[in-house]
Structure formats: structure tokens, C-alpha cells
Chain A
Amino acid sequence: MNLLRTYILPRILQWALVIFVGISATFLIPRLSPINPVDEMIGRMTAFASIDPHAVVSMRESATALFGLEGTLLEQYGRFWARLFTGDLGVSFGNFPRPVSDIIGAGLPWTIGLLSIAILISWISGVFLGALAGYFHDRRWAQILERFVVVVYPIPYLIIAFVLIFVFAWWLKWFPLVGGSRGQPGLTWDYISTLLYFGFLPALSLVIGSTAFRFIMAKSLTTTEIASDYVQYAELAAVPKRKIILFYVARNTMLPQVTDLALSLGALFEGALITEVLFAYPGLGFVLYNAIYNADYNIIMGITLLSIAGIATASLLIDLLYPIFDPRVRLR
């Protein structure tokens, strides 16, 4: 009960606050800008063709209604929430009358799949490689690995992905340049193998950067950890090194890594957006990219909203699972 009051409830309250603030920001930002999206849209539509002025007036009215820009700011805000609760994100302008929720729904599984595989691989490999390199810090391979990681870590996602595309997809032609899969979707090996084939480079580009981050963190945590008494005792007691690293050191360094995973989900998601743009991978990032080009505000807003809500919920889940990893929280 105590755990519920001191840990779980405040965390859920915070989750609600994040979503509230995020959604309010998404509502306010377009309205604070000096540019009226309705005028923008009509300007673009009338730029290349002369349209009857009456048609322009009625177009403006329907566009204002579509954007939810009628009435005072407060009324708009109320309607905005009411629409959100019914799951209505408006319709896309690029693919008129297709609802935004429909388009996002089509892209979402791709993003979630790519992101979860990349997070899983990078988290595990980063934590364990970091622990190994921290424990055997005077070995040659550990030092070479660390040099490599230090160089790779600060490079922006975009550039890592670009280099991979040029080297492996364009120059060596080992992997496809664009797309997510080929053939008839289904649970056949043919289809799944194309999924892996098309997803390999995008996932790799994500894994490289985030593994480097986990590695650096794991290594510095391990360095502090191996100075503690229990490790020295285990070494004196001739416990196998393998066992010391995997069962004691790595386990202890995992806890801050779990907390940090919840905090860095947002950054990983951002990376996935860019990766999808570059690889033309059919997930949310690619949808977003097309929406930017068509000035499809409803889609951009929908994806912003969804990413805030999704990231907040995912990090809430990780935090709620935290007591399972950390016995100290459980005991309190």
C-alpha cells in the first residue's frame, strides 16, 4: 500500500500532467504563430489556378471548421479536447477525406516494430559490452572499442544513417534503398525475410547510436561498481570472472539504465522518425515527412500528439515495472 502511495500514484499523476501539458502545447503552438494555416492553404490552392471568389469564401469557411478555428480560444480548446476523447484527429488534407487516425494507424506498427527491436538490441548489447569493457578496462580490445564508441557517440543520427545508406545501399548495393517489405503481407517466411532484409539498415542505424550511449553509461557505472568491496571480495574468493560480471556487476549497473531508458525513449523515437524519412520506411516518420511537404497540419499535429502520449505512457510503464528490477524499492 505504501508503495502505491509513495511511488505509483505520484508517477501516474505526473503522467497525466505530461499528457495535459503536451496536448495543450500542441493546441497552442499553431494558434500562437503569426501565420494563419487557413490562409496558407488557400494561398497554395489559388496560386496556380484562378478560382471563383465565392468558392474561396466557402472554402475558407470549411477550412476554418476543419482546423477547429471557430469561436474564442477557450471554446476551441474545449472542442479540441472533446474531439480528442472521441479519437477524432480530423482529416488529412494531402489525402482528403481520409481520417488522420487511419493514416497514423497504418504507419504505427512499422515504427513500433523498428523502434522496439532497435531498443532491445542496443540496450542489451550496450549494457553488456559496457560492463565487459569497464571490467577489463586495461585490455587492448576494450580500449579500441572505447575509442570507436567515443568517436561514434556524438555524431548526429542523420549523418550515421546517411553514411550507412551511401555505403551499404547505394555503393555496395547489399540492402535496398527504400521501402519496408515486398510481396503479400502474411506470416510466411518469404514475407518475413523481406521484412528483415528491408528493416536491417534502418534498425542498424538506430542501434549504432544508442548502443554507443548505453555503452558509455554502462562503462562508467561499471568502473564505479568494480571499486566496491563486494567485487574485490568475490575476486579474492576466486569467483569466476564471468560470474562476477554477469551476475553481480552487470546486474547492479542495470538499474540506472532502466531509469534512463524511460527518459531517453523520446530521443530514440526522434531518431526513428529521421531514420524512416531517410530510408523511406513506411512508418510514422515517413508519414510525417510527407505531411511536412504537403503542409498537412492535421497529420503533423496528430503525430505530435500521439508521440507525446505514447512516449509518456511507455516511460510510465517502465517506471511502474521498476520495482521488479530493484528490490530496494520493493522493500520500502
Chain B
Amino acid sequence: MLTTIRDLFRFSPSFRFGSLILIVVAAFVLLSAFSPYEEDRLRRKVKRNLPPSADFVFGTTSQGQDVFWSLTFAIRNTLIISGIAVFIGRGIGVSLGMISGYLGGIFDRTAQSIVESVIVVPRLPLLILIGSILRGSLTMFTLGILIGILDWAYPSKRYRAQVLSLRERDFTHTAVFSGMGSFKIVIREHLPFIIPFLLADVISGFLFSIGIEVTLSYLGLANLDSPTIGTMIYWGNYYQSIPAGRPWVMIVPMVTAILMVLGFYLMSVGLGEYLDPRKRLVRLTAHAGEGAQDDDPRKEKDDAWAP
């Protein structure tokens, strides 16, 4: 695991850059613990509509909130919502995909037709329907659960495909013929292949959930009292901050959202490259001759053909 991360840092600029952004984001999350205001008492604490200054780094809002400290809570809450959603969505997706991949037969066919059906169903209208019915009683946790319940179909398909291909690999046959138990094969031989996929998939789950959270909050369907990236944009828009000449109220959460998704996405790009077997070859040759890698003509050629 540690060598994997070290390799990723060394060979993938996008992973390096993405994780740098996420470290800054994580720092904000940690800062939320040291906020001078309490999370549910952010309003009417400071003078309204102040531009960014030394006292208020990102200015203040029309509700008398300090944008900087609101942002620390907002990042944390958005990540909590997405985290719950990803945990539930991947939980269902991984287990369903792997079970139907290993079991096969009638279970697999039934599960696949259900999955195919769920994939085509547009999720946002359903979420809006649920959100508008539960309006007011939709907390951060229920929102996360809701997003998670609607985001498992596509991942499960990918895990199934992974399992199906792993089952046919030579090393699986070797393990079966040498008398290894099925459970042991799954844990020892197949899981190491599944886990990197899981990582990349978790990241794309975060991308989806952050987008949905921002969208639902903008529509006014989330709990508007708890600060998230989406509700910050909602209130900024509600008080017409841009036409009224207070752009910082909206630019700050929007730029944060962009940086967050970008950080996650760059990390997943780096992981994807890492998972690509052709790139892995390049990396292995580089490992073999640590000092001499620069003047190795083969490396350049390999690079040219890899994505």
C-alpha cells in the first residue's frame, strides 16, 4: 500500500497535484474544529457584507457569517454527506457485483437485468421528488443515505466485469487445481486486484455526490441551515450577492467546489494510469535501473504508446 502511494507520487504528476489540493482541503476540514463560532450559530456574528480583508479573509455574507469559517464547516459537511453516500453506494455495488460475478447463473441474470434497468433511470428527478416530499426533515445523514441508495448500479456492473475476468485468469485456475479454497482465493488472490479499482471508484463516487449535493442544495431541497458548499451557493444566490457587488460570497464556495472535484479527479486519473498495465511496465523498467532510466531509449518508446 505504502509503496503504491510512493510510486503514484513519483510517477504520476496528476496524482501528485490532486493529492496536494486534497491536503489543503483536509486542512480546512481540520480547521473547522478550531472555529471561533459554533456550527449552528454562524449567523449574525460579524458585520454584514464586508469585502475580504485581514480580519475576514474571504469577507462576510449578508447573514453576518464569516465566509472563511463557514467554508471550513461547509467543506467538512459536504465531505461527510459524500462519504456516507459513497460508503452506502459502494457497499451495495461491490457486494452485488462480486456476488453476481462469482455465483453466475440465474442470480447473475436477474441481478444484471435489475442493474441495467436502474442505470437508465434518471436519478435527479427521483431525488428531487424525494427531497421535495421530505423537505425540512432531510438532514445531512439522510441526504447522504439517499444519494448512496441511488448510486450503486454502475459500480456494481464494473465489479462484476472485474470478477468475471479474474475468474478466467491462469492464476485462478492454478490456485483451484492446487486445492486452494474458494474463499481463500477471493481474499488472497483476487482482492488485491479489486482494491485499486475500489479506490478509483470511491473517488468517482465522491465526484458524483459532491455534484448532487451542490445541485440539491441549490434547489433548496437540502437542510439549508447546515453549512455545505451547496447551501453557501444557495444563500449567496438568495441574497443576490453577485448583482449586488459581493461576488466573494459565491465565488469562494464555487472555487472550492471546483478545486475539490479537481483534486479528486486528478487523483483518479493518476490511479487509472497506475492501473494501466502498459504504464506499469514503464514503471518497472524505471525501477530496475534507477539511475540509468533517463537515457534508456525504450522508455520513451513505451511512453509514446501508452495513454
Q: Which residues of A contact B (CB under 8 A)?
A: 14, 17-18, 21-22, 25-26, 29-30, 33-35, 37, 137-138, 150-151, 153-159, 162-163, 166, 170, 219-220, 223-224, 227, 262-263, 265-267, 269-270, 273-274, 277, 288-289, 291-293, 295, 297, 300-301, 303-304, 307-308, 311-312, 315
* Structural contact, B254 and A162, CB atoms closer than 8 A: yes
* Structural contact, B214 and A158, CB atoms closer than 8 A: yes
* Structural contact, B214 and A300, CB atoms closer than 8 A: no
* Structural contact, A288 and B128, CB atoms closer than 8 A: yes
For B269, the chain A residues whose CB sits under 8 A away are 150
Q: Is B137 in contact with chain A by the CB < 8 A criterion? A: yes
Interface residues of B in 117-137 (CB under 8 A from A): 117-126, 128-130, 132-135, 137
* Structural contact, B125 and A304, CB atoms closer than 8 A: yes
* Structural contact, B117 and A17, CB atoms closer than 8 A: yes
Q: How far, in whole Å, are A22 and B134 apart by their CA atoms in the complex? A: 19
B121, B233, B305: the one within 8 Å of A311 (CB): B121
Q: How far, in whole Å, are A291 and B137 apart by their CA atoms in the complex? A: 19
For B218, the chain A residues whose CB sits under 8 A away are 158, 274
Sample (27) of A-B pairs whose CB atoms are under 8 Å apart:
A14-B117, A17-B113, A17-B117, A21-B114, A26-B129, A30-B129, A33-B130, A33-B133, A33-B134, A154-B264, A155-B258, A156-B211, A158-B215, A162-B233, A166-B242, A262-B120, A270-B123, A273-B124, A288-B125, A295-B135, A297-B132, A304-B128, A304-B129, A307-B122, A308-B125, A311-B120, A312-B120
Q: How far, in whole Å, are A297 and B129 apart by their CA atoms in the complex? A: 8
Q: Which residues of B contact A (CB under 8 A)?
A: 14, 113-114, 116-126, 128-130, 132-135, 137, 207, 210-211, 214-215, 218-221, 233, 242-243, 250, 254, 257-258, 261-262, 264-266, 269, 304-307
For A14, the chain B residues whose CB sits under 8 A away are 113, 116-117
For B125, the chain A residues whose CB sits under 8 A away are 270, 273, 288, 300, 303-304, 307-308
* Structural contact, A159 and B258, CB atoms closer than 8 A: yes
* Structural contact, B129 and A29, CB atoms closer than 8 A: yes
CB distance from A138 to the nearest CB of B (A): 7
* Structural contact, B122 and A151, CB atoms closer than 8 A: no
Q: How far, in whole Å, are A166 and B251 apart by their CA atoms in the complex? A: 11
For A267, the chain B residues whose CB sits under 8 A away are 122
Closest 7 CB pairs of A and B: A156-B211, A154-B265, A270-B124, A266-B122, A154-B261, A304-B125, A18-B117
For B258, the chain A residues whose CB sits under 8 A away are 155, 159
